[in-house]
């Protein structure tokens, strides 16, 4: 009986070794999956920051054109039908914030889509770091990529003070006046207010009133 027990114990020992090795391997796999998930999350955070930065820079650049449009009959309608931001600064800002998060905007990875009273920017980034060495081959050279889209959206309607709204577009400056007077704006979350195109506050104070900047899915 004693000899048989020893033989059974000797046969079980390799099984225990295999079980422990298998559990260790699974632990390393789960660890690698966790590192990969963290790398993807880092890439997404960098993409979100880069897209928001590009949108905010674009909003800052809209100031001169927007304020000039207030002085022209029908100027806001024309402004919103055009290209509202400078050529390179918003995407340069996106790269700066991507780099702050140890990532880079991929070539051609900052794309704009302009519409009436709304601009979208989509930014794609790649991490500068990899998942790292692991039991899964190839992770030591694998970078994570992610995309994010942010919008700059005009959130007001307007009409000349004491005038009816223009039909079809929510109102605009009176085209029969060479020098438009105060304009009445109604913006999300605010009471109606008058803005005199000849006596304006700094754009930094007006930008957040007129334009919302946020991420979209």
Provide the pLDDT for residue 87: 54
How confident is the prediction along the chain (217 residues), in pLDDT tens digits per residue? Answer: 545 555 555 566 566 666 665 555 555 555 555 666 777 888 899 999 999 999 999 999 888 889 998 888 888 888 888 766 655 889 999 999 999 999 999 999 999 988 888 999 999 999 998 765 544 555 566 778 999 999 999 999 998 876 544 433 444 444 444 566 788 999 987 888 998 988 888 998 899 999 999 999 7
68, 75 Cβ separation under 8 angstroms:
yes
With tokens 């992770």, the residue in question is 139
Provide the pLDDT for residue 200: 85
Provide the pLDDT for residue 170: 45
Provide the pLDDT for residue 174: 43
- What's the Cα-to-Cα distance from 136 to each of 15, 24, 31, 40, 100, rounded to whole Å? 24, 14, 11, 17, 29
For the CA atoms of 171, 176, 182, 185, what is the dihedral angle to 10 degrees?
0
Provide the pLDDT for residue 13: 59
Provide the pLDDT for residue 31: 53
Provide the pLDDT for residue 168: 35
The count of C-alpha atoms lying within 13 angstroms of the C-alpha of 100, restricted to the half-sphere facing its C-beta, is 13
> Is the full-model pTM beyond 0.85?
no
């Amino acid at each position: 009986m004693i000899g048989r027990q020893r033989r059974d114990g000797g046969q079980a020992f390799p099984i225990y070794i295999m079980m422990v090795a298998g559990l260790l391997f699974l632990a390393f796999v789960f660890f690698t999956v966790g590192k990969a998930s963290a790398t993807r999350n880092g890439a997404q955070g960098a993409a979100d920051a880069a897209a928001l930065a590009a949108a905010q820079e674009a909003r800052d650049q809209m100031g001169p054109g927007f304020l000039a449009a207030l002085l022209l009959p029908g100027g806001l309608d024309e402004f919103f039908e055009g290209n509202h931001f400078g050529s390179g600064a918003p995407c340069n800002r996106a790269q700066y914030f991507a780099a702050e998060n140890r990532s880079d905007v991929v070539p051609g990875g900052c794309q704009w889509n302009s519409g009436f009273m709304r601009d979208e920017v989509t930014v794609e980034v790649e991490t500068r770091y990899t998942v790292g060495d692991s039991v899964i081959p190839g992770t030591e050279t694998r970078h994570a990529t992610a995309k994010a889209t942010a919008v700059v959206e005009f959130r007001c309607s307007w009409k000349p003070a004491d005038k009816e709204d223009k039909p079809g577009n929510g109102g605009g400056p009176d085209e029969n006046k060479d020098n438009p007077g105060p304009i009445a704006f109604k913006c999300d979350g605010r009471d109606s207010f008058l803005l005199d195109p000849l006596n304006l506050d700094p754009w930094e104070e007006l930008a957040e009133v007129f334009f919302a900047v946020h991420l979209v899915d």
